[in-house]
Structure 1
Amino acid sequence: MLEIDWKQFKSGTDIRGVATEGVPGQEVNLTGSAVRRMAAGYLLWLSNKTGKPASELTVAVGHDSRISADRIQKAVVDALLSAGVRVLVCGLASTPSMFMITVDWDCDGSIQITASHHPYYRNGLKFFTKEGGLDGSDIDEILAYAAENKAPAYGKGVAEMVDYMSRYSEILRDKIKQGVNAEDYEHPLAGFHIVVDAGNGAGGFYATDVLAPLGADISGSQFLEPDGMFPNHIPNPENAAAMDSVRLATIRAKADLGVIFDTDVDRGGAVDAKGDELNRNRLVAVASAIALEGNEGGTIVTDSITSSGLKEYIEDTLGGHHHRFKRGYRNVINEAIRLNNEGVNCPLAIETSGHAALRENYFLDDGAYLVTKIIIKMAVLRREGKNLETLLEGLREPVEATELRLPITASDFRACGEAVIAGLEQWAEKHGWAIAPDNREGIRVSFGKENGDGWFLLRLSVHDPIMPLNIESDSEGGVRKMVEQLHEYLLTCEGLDISPVAKFLA
């Protein structure tokens, strides 16, 4: 039997792998044996953290709608039971609910079986404690235990089938009731028409169990039924086809709002009544406006690719502070937690991908909670004769924006990417380019009106051998001007495939 490379399963702060047979070029590595060893590794890690033997732990297990979910759930539960754990089997569940169950029902930990927006044939494990999701170093420790085939002492656990999603839906409904504070407390969304696109993931509950009981008209909602093959579109708010799907559905239904979730509902996006996207910078702007209510002068932590116009909006329109940080949802969350611990009032950590974590909600990235806050804001604005569009009147958006993804062909992709960034910094200084002062990831360079009227950011991907290049300009033709100038440097870089740049300029 070939030795397993356990490091291959690490994906930032999650575990991911191939779980479904029969896909050309994709060999299953998330086998039952591998899953059991990783679940046992989590138990050892959790025992160390809590100071409890595995036989005294209570752990919840849930999954999204993927076709491999039942098989992997069985492997996880078997591993937990054989260590004497009390297991709460939640079945189909959102990832955020699997954190909330640790707080609400006093579980020591939980495991969500999901691969987020990845293709149907992939799956993975996401771990929680009452303090939130794990960090990358924790995943390293779990995988080290799995590599050594270490497991807790044998025990005889007990499994209970539970319905936590009903309780989680109740929490969201109560949040809306209190936030809207309408005359009809039980039906505060009466008169609102909201379309939900769940992409056949785990998010269909939001339409049927949260919005409809509160009086909302959910007609026109689509793909609410779980289907792990995702036959209609990728459940991903960053995907253009997915956003176009919910946009058209919202327009067809003449709804007040359309919302969309990724597979496991830790990310969300929205479109307004006109079908305009509340996504990426616009979503960050809306979330920032909501988070800064009652937190005047507070700090918003975002990832590195947010626009210059967003920074102006947060600081000039909202009166807050913008702290641009690294890509990766755990990166922005951990940075927000660090700032709060240092006494900085930081109510929100958010990525342009749709991961949004509010301090009031345990800094949990929860797409359903974010959408809930947006719906509350929409209802309050309507009472004032306004709508969500008026909230964004102060947001200056770029005239042009694009992203090019440059593959790294060198065997040591991280060393190559770091060398490219270091070289670009020297090149920028030599040519008098303006390097951003709040540069915390890769290198961000700004150009004046005559040379592109905007900025680019070149960085190394969090997980993959790719260097994403984001470019925005406030003038027509500005993106091309900046890419042309950068291209001269990229021609000197070894181990980097710059054909996407050449194609853009062709």
Structure 2
Amino acid sequence: MEGFDWKALQNGSDIRGVALEGVPGEPVNLTGAIAHTLGKAFASWLAAKLDKPAAELSLAIGRDSRLSGPDLMQAVMDGLSAMGCQVYDCAMASTPAMFMSTVLPEWQCDGAIMLTASHLPFNRNGLKFFTAQGGLGKPDITELLALAESGDLPESASPGTIQSRDLISAYAAYLVQTIRQAVNHPDAFDQPLRCLKIIVDAGNGAGGFYAHKVLVPLGADITGSQFLDPDGTFPNHIPNPENKVAMASICEAVVAQQADFGIIFDTDVDRGAAVDAAGKELNRNRLIALISAIVLREHPGSAVVTDSITSEGLTQFIEGELEGIHHRFRRGYKNVINEAMRLNNEGQESWLAIETSGHGAMKENYFLDDGAYLVSKLLVELARSRQMGRSLTDLIASLKEPAESEEFRLTIQTPDFKAYGSTVIEKLQAFAAEQSGWIVVPKNYEGVRVSCTSPQEEGWFLLRLSLHDPVLPLNIESNCEGGVPQIKQRLLGFFETFAELDLTALR
């Protein structure tokens, strides 16, 4: 593996790479041999952090439905075993479940690994790492990759054992008990979702367990649930709550089946979204508003940390209607989680950190971004609302939603894309400050956000630099018809002065 670019595998706080051939221009860089070394590196890294021999570590490992998963997982397990670790093979699992293997009383592993590339195409795969303190951060991944590159990973004289163990059932039982206790139905404690028809769309990822192992024991009718069987070719739609085709599929299923509720997960179940009985998406700003209403009722006056592209209507709802604090931060699920933790440490209570992508983490649940736990909170409220003769969405009846909302991704066509993108953002801020009816938002943590106050625009836009790609995402929202094209047209003249920007999306 001499000359191998280990740094290319880092994707923020995850490791991701190309695991299968078949896509032009995407050579494989996550092989069995690389995965084997990464397993050894994690064992060595964790042993040093916990100050105990690698041979005394117990580690759980699971995967999603990707085609490359079984072979890569076996390679990682062999690497862990070579270091002397006790390895638990959890087979098909979810990312949140793998973290829970470090804290569930009957498990309490020293660490865990999930093989997944979230919503990325079939040829990709990756690794997420956990300890009982949560997921590894970006500096941890940098250390781990440096260790792998060094090759200084002496194996144990006595290999550790690999044992199959059913984690997903233990995790599902935790969710079932959590819902039962929260609803606390006087006449149906064991089955608080009885008489509710709830459809699950797992997109052929790892989330199919939620229908049979969580909803059925709670009494729900899951007739009409779809794409529950794992299939790494993802033959029906991309398992991604942000994907329009995926959301249209679950919305149509809810209406066709006359269901009370719909649930959709991404591939590894760390993200989720929902659909109401009318087939309307509970996604993005609506999802954040709904879970905020629940959390702020339980923790009045606390802060809700979101990413940077949430709407003005959401801010008005959280701060005006719910009397909470909307702390709009940066994109990236680890960013919003870490910011919520920071606020708590500094004395500002925060119980919810959530992205518009569907990554939602709660203080009561280890600040773990857990799509299954998030929708479980919604199901508790659904059951309670039904008992009181109300609708779940009554909670967000006053949420003001934009008339138009679009995202445009402007590709930067120069190798030094971060510096170039930063220059564009800096110059846009100066340009916007000179425009009639445009006000640069002062309290902003990412890129430049501008409020557009004219009656023809009545909205806002945000330009930021992508976390990992040579792209400047531009989000525009307007409260009036035709507002987005109006704002876009004014911006187009500015962007045309930058030769290295591909403006195809805007044109």
TM over 0.5: yes
The corresponding residue for 2:110 is: 108
The corresponding residue for 2:488 is: 483
Question: Which of 132, 135, 143 pairs up with 1:130?
Answer: 132
Cα distance in 2, alignment partners of residues 258 and 190 from structure 1: 15
Which structure 2 residues correspond to residues 295-314 of structure 1 after superposition, within 5 A?
A: 295-314=299-318
Cα distance in 2, alignment partners of residues 429 and 221 from structure 1: 51
Cα distance in 2, alignment partners of residues 52 and 58 from structure 1: 11
- Of stretches 359-368 and 9-18 in structure 1, the one that deviates more from structure 2 is 9-18
Question: Which of 440, 443, 457 pairs up with 2:445?
Answer: 440
Cα distance in 1, alignment partners of residues 396 and 111 from structure 2: 39
- Output one character per residue of 1:220-262: Cα deviation in whole Å (capped at 9) or x when no partner: 0000011111111000000000000101111111000000000
The corresponding residue for 1:271 is: 275
Question: Which of 332, 347, 351 pairs up with 2:351?
Answer: 347
Cα distance in 2, alignment partners of residues 489 and 327 from structure 1: 24
* Counterpart secondary structure, 1:368: helix
Cα distance in 2, alignment partners of residues 396 and 66 from structure 1: 39
1:162 aligns to 2:165 (yes or no): yes
1:453 aligns to 2:463 (yes or no): no
Which structure 2 residues correspond to residues 370-409 of structure 1 after superposition, within 5 A?
A: 370-409=374-413
Cα distance in 1, alignment partners of residues 93 and 235 from structure 2: 20
- Of stretches 482-491 and 238-247 in structure 1, the one that deviates more from structure 2 is 482-491
Which structure 2 residues correspond to residues 59-138 of structure 1 after superposition, within 5 A?
A: 59-104=59-104, 105-138=107-140
Structure 1's consecutive aligned runs of 4 or more residues displaced over 6 angstroms after TM superposition are: none
Q: Which runs of 5+ in 2 are unaligned?
A: none
* Counterpart secondary structure, 1:185: coil
The corresponding residue for 1:12 is: 12
Matched letter for residue 181 of structure 1: N
The corresponding residue for 1:199 is: 203
Cα distance in 2, alignment partners of residues 386 and 453 from structure 1: 33
CA contact (8 A) 2:456 2:480 kept: no
Matched letter for residue 46 of structure 1: L
| Post-superposition offset of 1:63 | 0.4
Cα distance in 2, alignment partners of residues 152 and 399 from structure 1: 60
Q: Which runs of 5+ in 1 are unaligned?
A: none
Cα distance in 2, alignment partners of residues 462 and 64 from structure 1: 24
Fraction of identical pairs, as percent: 54
Matched letter for residue 72 of structure 1: L
Cα distance in 2, alignment partners of residues 25 and 494 from structure 1: 25
Matched letter for residue 30 of structure 2: L
Structural RMSD (CA): 1.2
| Post-superposition offset of 1:50 | 1.1
| Post-superposition offset of 1:2 | 6.4
The corresponding residue for 1:45 is: 45
* Counterpart secondary structure, 1:115: coil
Distance 1:242 1:309, change over 3 A: same
- Output one character per residue of 1:86-131: Cα deviation in whole Å (capped at 9) or x when no partner: 1111000011000001011111110000000111111110000001
Cα distance in 2, alignment partners of residues 479 and 424 from structure 1: 17
CA contact (8 A) 2:40 2:82 kept: no
| Post-superposition offset of 1:160 | 1.2
Matched letter for residue 55 of structure 2: S
The corresponding residue for 2:477 is: 472
Matched letter for residue 47 of structure 1: A
CA contact (8 A) 2:293 2:396 kept: no
Which structure 2 residues correspond to residues 121-270 of structure 1 after superposition, within 5 A?
A: 121-155=123-157, 156-182=159-185, 183-270=187-274
* Counterpart secondary structure, 2:429: helix
* Structure-1-length-normalised TM-score: 0.97
* Structure-2-length-normalised TM-score: 0.97
CA contact (8 A) 1:291 1:358 kept: no
